[in-house]
C-alpha cells in the first residue's frame, strides 16, 4: 500500500496509470491505498481529472471516491462530481448524495440542483442528508435554493423549505412566509406562521393579525405574534435605587448580600440583572454562596419612586425597569384588539398580556371589570391570578372574594397566596395578617390547608429573622479542633468512627466565630443508632474532654432533650423545669413525663432539630419545636455569662453524627 501511494504521488503519468488499475482492483487493501493516494498527491488539474474520471468507471467505489475528491479540495473535480450527483451513469441515490456532499465540501453551487432533487427523495435518510448539505452552504445561491423549495408544488418540499429557512435564519424568506401563511395545507400554514414569529418584523404584524382573525383558535398564530412582540419590547427609562439584594439559598440561610454590587451595575447603565454568582464579587469572578442548592436573587428596589420586589431563579434575568411594547407593535395590536370580538379578542388578549408588563396589566384589569364578554372576563381574572409579579396582588385578593364563579375564586386565592409570598416589600407581620384574613375566603379543605401551610411558613420566616449561619455547607471555616473526626460531605458536617478506626476519647469541634452570651441556636442533627453527641454551650476553648452545659443527644433518643453537665450529668431533666440556687439547692417542677415526651418529639434514624435559648442563667431546649427542658442555674462557676459553642464526638462504638443548618441569633 505504501509503495502504491509512493508510485502515484511521484510517478507522473505512469503513477496515474497505476492508480487507475488500483482503484478498479477487487481487494480492499489496494482500493484503500488508491483512495489515500488521492489525498496525498499534490493538487493539480491533471491528477484531479484523472482521479475524477474513475467516478464513471468504478461504481463500487463512487461514494468513497467522491468523498475524498471533496476533501482533496480541487475544483477540477466539479464536472465529474456534478454528473454523478445528477444521477448520470446510472448512479444510485446514495452515490449521487455522496457526490453532492463532495460538491458541498468544495462549496460549489453546482451541488445545489442535485441536492434539491435529492431533498425530495422517497428515502427519508437520503432526503434529510441532502437538506443538511444545503444547510451547510452560505450565500445567495443557497438561499435561492431554499426559496425554490418553499415555492415547490409538493407540500412536503414546501414544508422542508420553511424548516430550512428558519434554521438558516433567512430574513429574505419572510415574503415567502407571508404568502405561505395563507396556504391551504394546515401544517404548512402553521410552519409559516411560526416562521413569521421567529423571523418577521413589525411589517409582518398585519399578516399575523389576519391569520388570527381567520383562525382565532390557532395557538401557533398567537404564540408567533407574542414572540415577534418580544423583539419590540424595550426597558423603560427611569431612576433605579436598590434597597436590598440577596443571592443564595434563603431556605438554608446561605445568602450573600449583593446590594452594593447590583447598585454598581445599575449605576453603570445595566438595567437587566442576571441571577448568578458573579453578583457576589465585583472583580469579574464568581462565588457560590450555597453550593449544590437551588439559588435565587431577591431584590427590593424603587423605580421612579415606586417600590418593587422581585425574585429571580439562578441564571434567569430581570429588567428592573420593566418593559414597554414600542408603538410600532403596540398600536396595531391594540387597535385590532379593540375592534375584535369573541375568540379573536381572546387570542389578542393573550398576546397583549404575554409580556407581563404594565401595558398588559392595564389590558387585563380593564377586561376583568367589563361584564359584556364573559369569556374575556374569565381569561382576564385568570391572567391576574397567574401574574408573574406581585403587581396583581390586590386584583387577586379582590377576585378571591368576588369572582363570578367558585373556580375563579379558588384560582384567585391561590394566586393571591403566591404573589404575597413574592412581595418582599410587605413586612412579614402584614403578610401574616393578610393570610389570616384570607382564611375566610377559602372554599375547599385543600385551600384551607394551603393557607395554613403559608401561615406556618411565614411565622417561620419571622422567627428566623436575625439568624446567622455558623456552618457554610462547604468547609470547616470558623471551626477548629474536633480530634480529626469532622469533615464536610454533601453540605453536611459529620463525624464517623468505625471498628477499624474507633473513637477512644471525647473531643470537641469548637466554633470560633463568636463566644456568645445570650443567644438562640438552631441546628438539625441526625444520629446513627449507636451515636452519642451533644452541643456544648458557653463552654471552654478545650478540644478534648467536656466542659459546660450540653444539649445532649444519642441515637436511641433516651438522652435527647436533656441538659447534661460533666460535673452533674443529666441535671436538666427532660419534661422538667429545673432551678438551682446560688447555694446549690435544686428544685424541679415537672411539666411532662420524660419518656412520653421523648417518644413524642424524637425521630430515630431521621433529621431532628434542636432549638436552644440561652438568656442569663437560664437555658431552654426545644426538640422539633416542642419544649423539653428548662434550667436556671444561679451559680456563676457553673453557668458562665459567655463561652464557646462546641459539637461533641463521643468515645464508644462505631457511630455517625451529622449536623446541618446550624445558625445562631444574638439576643441583646
Q: Summarize pLDDT for 60-83 with one digit per residue, the tens.
A: 898 899 899 989 988 888 888 888
| Confidence at residue 108, expressed as pLDDT on a 0 to 100 scale | 77
Cα→Cα distances 450→414, 417, 445, Å: 8, 9, 9
Q: What is the pLDDT of residues 463-516, one digit of tens each?
A: 777 788 898 888 898 999 999 999 998 789 999 999 999 999 999 999 999 999
Binning pLDDT at 50, 70 and 90, where does residue 2 land? low
Lowest mean pLDDT among 301-315, 477-491, 504-518, 610-624: 301-315
- Stronger pLDDT, 664 or 304, i.e. the higher one: 664
Taking the whole predicted model, whether its pTM rises above 0.85 is answered as: no
| Confidence at residue 414, expressed as pLDDT on a 0 to 100 scale | 97
Q: What is the pLDDT of residues 427-471, one digit of tens each?
A: 788 999 999 999 999 999 999 999 999 998 888 777 777 788 898
| Confidence at residue 88, expressed as pLDDT on a 0 to 100 scale | 60
Residue-by-residue DSSP string for 104-121:
HHTT-GGGHHHHHHHTT-
| Confidence at residue 643, expressed as pLDDT on a 0 to 100 scale | 95
Binning pLDDT at 50, 70 and 90, where does residue 91 land? low
Of 216, 213, 219, 223, the C-alpha closest to 332 is 213
| Confidence at residue 89, expressed as pLDDT on a 0 to 100 scale | 54
The set of cell numbers assigned to 619 is: 437555658
- C-alpha–C-alpha distance, residues 560 and 527, integer Å: 11
DSSP state of 90: G
pLDDT at 56 over 70: yes
pLDDT at 660 over 70: yes
CATH 1.25.10 location in the chain:
2-204+220-225
Long-range pairs of 622-628 with CB within 8 A, sequence gap ≥ 24 = 623/560, 623/561, 626/597, 626/600, 626/601, 627/591, 628/560, 628/561, 628/562, 628/574, 628/575, 628/597, 628/598, 628/601
Q: What is the pLDDT of residues 194-223, one digit of tens each?
A: 999 999 999 999 999 999 999 999 899 999
Percentage above 90 pLDDT, the chain: 58
Q: What is the pLDDT of residues 568-584, one digit of tens each?
A: 999 999 999 999 999 99
CATH 2.60.120.560 location in the chain:
469-666
pLDDT, average across residues 2-31 = 82
| Confidence at residue 438, expressed as pLDDT on a 0 to 100 scale | 97
pLDDT at 286 over 60: yes
Binning pLDDT at 50, 70 and 90, where does residue 126 land? confident
Supply the mean pLDDT for the chain.
90
Its sign, for the CA torsion 538, 542, 543, 545, is negative
Supply angle C-alpha 398, 404, 408, rounded to 5: 70
- C-alpha–C-alpha distance, residues 384 and 376, integer Å: 12
pLDDT, average across residues 634-641 = 94
pLDDT at 90 over 70: no
DSSP state of 444: S
Binning pLDDT at 50, 70 and 90, where does residue 523 land? very high
- C-alpha–C-alpha distance, residues 614 and 325, integer Å: 57
- Stronger pLDDT, 296 or 3, i.e. the higher one: 296
| Confidence at residue 120, expressed as pLDDT on a 0 to 100 scale | 79
Binning pLDDT at 50, 70 and 90, where does residue 12 land? confident
- Stronger pLDDT, 369 or 460, i.e. the higher one: 369
* Pair type for strands 317-319 and 626-633: unpaired
Contact yes or no for 657/498 (Cβ under 8 A): no
Contact yes or no for 652/503 (Cβ under 8 A): yes
Roughly how many angstroms between the first and final C-alpha of the chain, as a whole number?
A: 89
Residue carrying C-alpha cell 456534478: 82
Architecture of domain 469-666: Sandwich (2.60)
pLDDT, average across residues 166-181 = 94
Its sign, for the CA torsion 85, 86, 87, 88, is negative
Lowest mean pLDDT among 1-5, 562-566, 614-618: 1-5
Phi/psi at 430 (nearest 5 deg)?
A: -70, -40
| Confidence at residue 173, expressed as pLDDT on a 0 to 100 scale | 95
- Stronger pLDDT, 127 or 563, i.e. the higher one: 563
Task: Look at residue 137 and give its three-state secondary structure.
Answer: coil
The set of cell numbers assigned to 431 is: 403578610
Of 350, 117, 103, the C-alpha closest to 221 is 350
| Confidence at residue 385, expressed as pLDDT on a 0 to 100 scale | 97
Domain 2-204+220-225 has CATH 1.25.10: yes
pLDDT at 184 over 70: yes
Supply angle C-alpha 227, 231, 236, rounded to 5: 120
- Stronger pLDDT, 111 or 195, i.e. the higher one: 195
Task: Look at residue 624 and give its three-state secondary structure.
Answer: coil
Q: What is the pLDDT of residues 357-366, one digit of tens each?
A: 889 999 999 9
| Confidence at residue 1, expressed as pLDDT on a 0 to 100 scale | 58
Burial class (CB in 10 A: 0-12, 13-18, 19+), 323: buried
DSSP run (H or E) holding 608 = strand 608-615
- C-alpha–C-alpha distance, residues 50 and 34, integer Å: 12
DSSP run (H or E) holding 83 = helix 78-85
Contact yes or no for 183/158 (Cβ under 8 A): yes
Instruction: List b or e across 399-430, with b for residues whose CB sees 16 or more CB atoms inside 10 angstroms.
Output: bbeebeeeebbbbbbbbbbbbbbbbbebebee
Percentage above 70 pLDDT, the chain: 98
Contact yes or no for 101/129 (Cβ under 8 A): yes
Note the residue count of the chain.
668
Region for 387 from its dihedrals, namely left if φ exceeds 0, alpha if ψ lies in -120 to 50, beta otherwise: beta
Burial class (CB in 10 A: 0-12, 13-18, 19+), 289: buried
Residue carrying C-alpha cell 415567502: 176
| Confidence at residue 490, expressed as pLDDT on a 0 to 100 scale | 78
* Pair type for strands 240-249 and 254-257: antiparallel
pLDDT at 57 over 90: no
| Confidence at residue 11, expressed as pLDDT on a 0 to 100 scale | 67
Rg, Å, the chain Cα set: 38
Of 196, 193, 122, 200, the C-alpha closest to 156 is 122
> Which neighbouring-strand residues pair with 579?
587, 632
Q: What is the pLDDT of residues 249-282, one digit of tens each?
A: 887 778 888 999 999 998 888 878 899 999 998 7
Amino acid at each position: 500500500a505504501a509503495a502504491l501511494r509512493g508510485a502515484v504521488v511521484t510517478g507522473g503519468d505512469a503513477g496515474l496509470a497505476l492508480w487507475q488499475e488500483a482503484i478498479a482492483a477487487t481487494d480492499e487493501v489496494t482500493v484503500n491505498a488508491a483512495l489515500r493516494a488521492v489525498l496525498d498527491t499534490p493538487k493539480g488539474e491533471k491528477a484531479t481529472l484523472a482521479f475524477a474520471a474513475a467516478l464513471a468507471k468504478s461504481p463500487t467505489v463512487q461514494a468513497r471516491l467522491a468523498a475524498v475528491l471533496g476533501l482533496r479540495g480541487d475544483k477540477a473535480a466539479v464536472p465529474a462530481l456534478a454528473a454523478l450527483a445528477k444521477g448520470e451513469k446510472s448512479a444510485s441515490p446514495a452515490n449521487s448524495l455522496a457526490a453532492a456532499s463532495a460538491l458541498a465540501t468544495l462549496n460549489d453551487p453546482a451541488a445545489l440542483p442535485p441536492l434539491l432533487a435529492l431533498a425530495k427523495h422517497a428515502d427519508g435518510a437520503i432526503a434529510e442528508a441532502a437538506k443538511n448539505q444545503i444547510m451547510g452552504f452560505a450565500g445567495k445561491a443557497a438561499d435561492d435554493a431554499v426559496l425554490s423549495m418553499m415555492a415547490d408544488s409538493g407540500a412536503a418540499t414546501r414544508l422542508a423549505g420553511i424548516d430550512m429557512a428558519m434554521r438558516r435564519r433567512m430574513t429574505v424568506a419572510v415574503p415567502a412566509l407571508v404568502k405561505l401563511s395563507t396556504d391551504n395545507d394546515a401544517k404548512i400554514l402553521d410552519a409559516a406562521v411560526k416562521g413569521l414569529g421567529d423571523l418577521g418584523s413589525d411589517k409582518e404584524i398585519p399578516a399575523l393579525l389576519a391569520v388570527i382573525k381567520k383562525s382565532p383558535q390557532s395557538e401557533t398564530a398567537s404564540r408567533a405574534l407574542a414572540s415577534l412582540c418580544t423583539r419590540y419590547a424595550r426597558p423603560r427609562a427611569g431612576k433605579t435605587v436598590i434597597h436590598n439584594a440577596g443571592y443564595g439559598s434563603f431556605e438554608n440561610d446561605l445568602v450573600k448580600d449583593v446590594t452594593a454590587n447590583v447598585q454598581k451595575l445599575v449605576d453603570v447603565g445595566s438595567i437587566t440583572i442576571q441571577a448568578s454568582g458573579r453578583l457576589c464579587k465585583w472583580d469579574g469572578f464568581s462565588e457560590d454562596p450555597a453550593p449544590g442548592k437551588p439559588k435565587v436573587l431577591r431584590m427590593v428596589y424603587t423605580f421612579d419612586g415606586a417600590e418593587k420586589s422581585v425574585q429571580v431563579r439562578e441564571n434567569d434575568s430581570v429588567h428592573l425597569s420593566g418593559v414597554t411594547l414600542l408603538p410600532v407593535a403596540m398600536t396595531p395590536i391594540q387597535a385590532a384588539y379593540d375592534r375584535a370580538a369573541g375568540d379573536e379578542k381572546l387570542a389578542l388578549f393573550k398576546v397583549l398580556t404575554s409580556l407581563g408588563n404594565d401595558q398588559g396589566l392595564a389590558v387585563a384589569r380593564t377586561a376583568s371589570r367589563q361584564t359584556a364578554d364573559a369569556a374575556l372576563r374569565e381569561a382576564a381574572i385568570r391572567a391576574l391570578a397567574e401574574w408573574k409579579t406581585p403587581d396583581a396582588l390586590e386584583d387577586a385578593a379582590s377576585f378571591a372574594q368576588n369572582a363570578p364563579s367558585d373556580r375563579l375564586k379558588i384560582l384567585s386565592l391561590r394566586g393571591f397566596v403566591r404573589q404575597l409570598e413574592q412581595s418582599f416589600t410587605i413586612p412579614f407581620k402584614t403578610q401574616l395578617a393578610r393570610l389570616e384574613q384570607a382564611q375566610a375566603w377559602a372554599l375547599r379543605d385543600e385551600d384551607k390547608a394551603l393557607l395554613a401551610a403559608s401561615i406556618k411558613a411565614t411565622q417561620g420566616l419571622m422567627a428566623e429573622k436575625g439568624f446567622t449561619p455558623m456552618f457554610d455547607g462547604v468547609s470547616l471555616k470558623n471551626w477548629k479542633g474536633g480530634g480529626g473526626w469532622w469533615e464536610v460531605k454533601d453540605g453536611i458536617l459529620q463525624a464517623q468512627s468505625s471498628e477499624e478506626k474507633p473513637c477512644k476519647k471525647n473531643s470537641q469541634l469548637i466554633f470560633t466565630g463568636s463566644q456568645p452570651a445570650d443567644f438562640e441556636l438552631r441546628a438539625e442533627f441526625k444520629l446513627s443508632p449507636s451515636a452519642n453527641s451533644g452541643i456544648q454551650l458557653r463552654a471552654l476553648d478545650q478540644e478534648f474532654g467536656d466542659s459546660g452545659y450540653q444539649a445532649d443527644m444519642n441515637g436511641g433518643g433516651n438522652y435527647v432533650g436533656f441538659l447534661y453537665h460533666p460535673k452533674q450529668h443529666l441535671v436538666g431533666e427532660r419534661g422538667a423545669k429545673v432551678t438551682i440556687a446560688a447555694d446549690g439547692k435544686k428544685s424541679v417542677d415537672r411539666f411532662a413525663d420524660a419518656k412520653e415526651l421523648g417518644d413524642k418529639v424524637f425521630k430515630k434514624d431521621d433529621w431532628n432539630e434542636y432549638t436552644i435559648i440561652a438568656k442569663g442563667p437560664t437555658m431552654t431546649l426545644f426538640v422539633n419545636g416542642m419544649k423539653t427542658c428548662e434550667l436556671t442555674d444561679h451559680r456563676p462557676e457553673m453557668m458562665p455569662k459567655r463561652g464557646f459553642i462546641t459539637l461533641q464526638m463521643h468515645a464508644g462504638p462505631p457511630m455517625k453524627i451529622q449536623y446541618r443548618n446550624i445558625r445562631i441569633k444574638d439576643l441583646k
